[in-house]
Structure 1
């Protein structure tokens, strides 16, 4: 992985900022040197809390010649504009998911990366963790035979109970599809290859949400996007997946992801985490078997470490040095088009054929 020192500026010091600082602390070659935020006071506070030497607004971050990688943690509706600005300022960029909120904006971001010659990477990067790589290894080694089908179930993140203002999750650019969907789709594409067609239906469950989080800044939220969507997703390989993405399912015993093959079934852990048990049950087995992790764990399962971030930034730094780039722009764009197509299929009541494709990312484990 990355061998030289990379100086990092983080754009946005909100809810997920600390998770990146904690995760990147594992890698001394990834040095955080600046925090940028339109709220300069918040940037200053974040810098002081984490001993980061410089802070300021977004324009100061773009202009800082000592920063070579920008980590973009702005809200999704601002991703396209801020990513393009950072690329045009000569920075390599790693952006939180999704890459953008529309296919058109995603295409503009890709064009800017090509035009500037900078390296662009995007979350979600949890498919780089031990759980998804263990599942990938099991599939590639034939543990479940030929993959035939899959299921993926997203339940409510219950953001109203812990986020002080989760309104963005119930507006365009949010919802279960764009908020949690990237984790699931990225892992499915990593395991099964690119998506070809989608047929979906969706609806708004509860039109107004009550916020109960401690320290909340709003009391209620008007919902303007579908919060419950079901879809049939067909992969170019022929695998057919059924998905449910919902902010209306508060409690459930459904699995996160299961992949069904001609000789057995894989059950995957929470796609929002890098690590967790991956179980296999071959036809005729009396019980499930937990597979040995294919990689070292990024964070101890069941602890606060499990929430930290940073593998994708390390992946990007490695690509800057000429190594493989797994959480790359083409992969992220295909995930984005999959999610936008899912939303579009539900809105238009018709099947949608994707126009993009991507390579399965190079595996991290040793075969």
Structure 2
């Protein structure tokens, strides 16, 4: 890391509203956060930790910060918030430990393995006056936010329904350590579902009830790349899931997510309205074209970018949480939204198992919209 960047980070600590961040878990996804943290002026990376302490030391040297054990990081008075990038099975436990240590926590998705595991985390945070945030924050970029503004402005009339299809052959084809994707907290629903479910709640509001079908492919899977290549992967999750969701406002969404499709023209994310159809960009990305086919022409046209943080990336949700703490307002990628999405995913699997319709007990307000901005200076 350059001396200029180290000086810039030191200057930020002296300013108001800077949240000092300790990262727990420096696996594959962490690189995307480290890429964007230097551009976020209200975040200060101060330490990293990982079960693999050698890996933590390597990353700490790259980032110009301290390498600590997990226990040391949680006890460190210089860490204001924990960025929890552990595997899903550890999300709730690390989150609770962070809250018990007096620190805010922002984690990768899903919030926990199930609602029962997540409830104590949110309850403890509320009791201690601390914040819980959760990925995905892709919904804060120009793609989903432009779609939201266009829908709110009536670009396709009144929305009636949405259709979603995402599929892939399986993450074992590219990820060097993909076993956790096939354990509880993984699978296509818990891995990719949060992007789409967080988006449709952002677009249309909370979900009232769900039904679903789920199957587990008999295909044998093994790691394709890296030092573990050839290692067999046990599969303990559904690998192909379809669901029908009814929103509180009456709009319906159909969604299919799969690790069993070798080739498809998907992903598909479309919204059908009384005056046209909207094609929504991939919510696993922060940007992308929003297209509308008006009823009058039924021809696709790309609409101008009109909302969202431009040039954003992973970490923007954490920066928004830091700004919300400073200004005493709700943050957008919040624990309540993540909990609602978690309950919906859990409900889909329970509906598939019981062949029933499952009512969703939780509800959540639509997060505040993001105005079009090229930098986070106005946060």
TM range (shorter): over 0.9
Give every structure 1 segment of 4 or more consecutive aligned residues whose post-TM-superposition deviation is greater than 6 Å.
Answer: none
> Residue deviations 1:211-233, cap 9 Å, x none?
21233355221212110011111
Q: Which residue among 320, 339, 359 is the counterpart of 1:333?
A: 339
Per the alignment, residue 354 of structure 1 pairs with 360
> 1:315 Cα shift?
1.1
> 1:96 Cα shift?
0.6
Structure 1 residues 188 and 157, CA, compared in 2 at 3 Å: closer, same or farther? farther
TM value normalised by structure 1: 0.94
Kept in 1, the 8 Å contact 2:216–2:239? The answer is yes
What pairs with 1:58-69 in structure 2 (closer than 5 Å)? 58-69=70-81
TM value normalised by structure 2: 0.91
Within 2, Cα distance between the matches of 1:357 and 1:80?
Answer: 20
Within 2, Cα distance between the matches of 1:218 and 1:28?
Answer: 43
Q: Which residue among 57, 64, 71 is the counterpart of 1:44?
A: 57
Structure 1: which 5+ runs fail to align? 300-305
Kept in 2, the 8 Å contact 1:256–1:271? The answer is no
Superposition RMSD on alpha carbons, in Å?
1.6
Per the alignment, residue 29 of structure 2 pairs with 16
Choose 265-274 or 182-191, whichever is displaced more.
265-274
Kept in 2, the 8 Å contact 1:131–1:269? The answer is yes
Within 2, Cα distance between the matches of 1:28 and 1:336?
Answer: 31
Kept in 1, the 8 Å contact 2:176–2:228? The answer is yes
Per the alignment, residue 200 of structure 1 pairs with 212
> Residue deviations 1:146-190, cap 9 Å, x none?
110001112116411211121111111110010110000000000
Kept in 2, the 8 Å contact 1:69–1:91? The answer is yes
Per the alignment, residue 113 of structure 1 pairs with 125
The answer to whether the aligner puts 1:364 opposite 2:376 as a matched pair is no
> 1:250 Cα shift?
2.5
Kept in 1, the 8 Å contact 2:187–2:239? The answer is yes
Within 1, Cα distance between the matches of 2:105 and 2:229?
Answer: 31
**Residue-pair matches, total:** 357
> Residue deviations 1:213-270, cap 9 Å, x none?
2333552212121100111111111111111111001221134311111111111111
Kept in 2, the 8 Å contact 1:177–1:343? The answer is no
Within 2, Cα distance between the matches of 1:235 and 1:3?
Answer: 40
